[in-house]
Structure 1
Amino acid sequence: MYFTNKFSTLAFAVVAAMVAQTAANPAPVSVKHTIWTIPLYTHSSYLQVASTVSTDEFLKWLDTTDADITYVGKPINGSVPRAAADIMVTYCTKRTQNVCGGTCTVYNGGPTCLSAPGTTCLSATGNVGFCDHGGCSGSCNQLSSCGTPLDNGFCSTPGTSSIIVQA
C-alpha cells in the first residue's frame, strides 16, 4: 500500500509537469525512453550558444581587465563597426578560481588558425574551436560545448595549443 501511494504521487507529479510544460511551450520534440515517450519543448531563448559573449561584453572586459594584453589581427575600435564575419577572441595563460587572466592575446578578424600554446582559458564573440595540438589539429572541442564556464563569458580550456576561428 505504501509503495502504491508513493508511485501514484510520482505519476501525478510527472503528468502535472508535462501538462504545465505543454501549456507553456508550443514546439514539441519527442524523446523516447524505454517505458514512456515524453514530449519535450524548446524555446528560442534557451537555444543560445554557451560561452560566447556579445561585442559589448567583450569590449567592456577589455576596458576593465588588468591582464597583460597583446592585440593581433584587425584593430579594435569601439566606435568603428566591425565586419559581420569578424570574430573577437581572447585567450589567456592563467586561471585563478573562476577568473581568466595573466598574459592574454586578443584576436579580431575572420577565419584563421591561431597558434595559442599555453592557453588555459578563452572567450569569443562567436563559436570557435580549441585544439590540443598546433595547426588546429589533434583533439578539438567547441566553445559552445564548454565544460567549465568561467566569469565574464570565459571557458576553461587547459592544454589548448591552437584555436580555430570560423566564418
Structure 2
Amino acid sequence: MASPVDEPGFAIISDEEMDYFLSTTKAELIFVGDNGEERAFDNPLEKPANTRVTYCNRRINKVCGGQCHVYNGGATCINASGTRCLAATRNVGFCDRGGCKHSCNQLSTCGTRLDNGFCYTPGTKSILVGTA
C-alpha cells in the first residue's frame, strides 16, 4: 500500500489514509464505540459508514502518537482531555472545554498540519462529531 500524500488544504483524511495510519502506527490504540465505551475487539480496518476520529496525547515534531483513541460512530461530543493532535475522516470540531463548549475550531481549518493528515490541537478537551 502506498503511503498517503501530504497535500495543502483541508486536514480531513480519507478512510484509506486512516487505515494506513492504523496499520502502521506504533501508538497504543484504544478503540471507542458509538456509545463512548472502549471496545476491546474492534477491527480498525472495518469500513464504517460513520465518522472515524483518532485523537492522541503526544506530538513530537510532525508526528502524532503516544496513546491514541479511535472513535467510530455518529454525532456525539467526545470528552477528550489531554488530546494534543487528531485526525478524522470527516470534519469535526475540537474545543478547549469539556462538553463541546466555549472556544471551538474546525479540523478543516487546521493551523498546524502534522504527518499522516493529523492536526496539532493543543488544549483540546472535547471533540464534536457531527452527522455524516
| TM-score of the superposed pair, with normalisation by structure 1 | 0.67
SS in 1 for 2:128: strand
**Does 1 or 2 have the higher relative contact order (CA < 8 Å, sep 6+)?**
2
1:91 aligns with 2:40: no
> What is the letter of the counterpart of residue 68 of structure 1?
E
More strand by share: 2
> What is the letter of the counterpart of residue 60 of structure 1?
Y
In the alignment, which residue of structure 2 is the partner of 1:82?
48
Root-mean-square deviation (Å):
1.5
More helix by share: 1
8 Å CA contact 1:49, 1:127 repeated in 2: no
Unpaired runs of 5+ residues, structure 2, are 1-7, 35-41
1:58 aligns with 2:18: yes
Distance 1:103 1:157 in 2: 15
Decide which structure has the larger Cα Rg and report it: 1
Unpaired runs of 5+ residues, structure 1, are 1-47
> What is the letter of the counterpart of residue 55 of structure 2?
Y
Per the alignment, do residues 115 and 92 of structure 1 end up closer, same or farther by CA in structure 2, a change over 3 Å counting?
A: same
SS in 1 for 2:16: helix
| TM-score of the superposed pair, with normalisation by structure 2 | 0.84
> What is the letter of the counterpart of residue 120 of structure 2?
S
Distance 2:56 2:44 in 1: 21
Distance 1:60 1:133 in 2: 30
8 Å CA contact 2:93, 2:107 repeated in 1: yes
Percent identity of equivalent pairs: 55
Distance 1:49 1:116 in 2: 25
Distance 2:44 2:114 in 1: 26
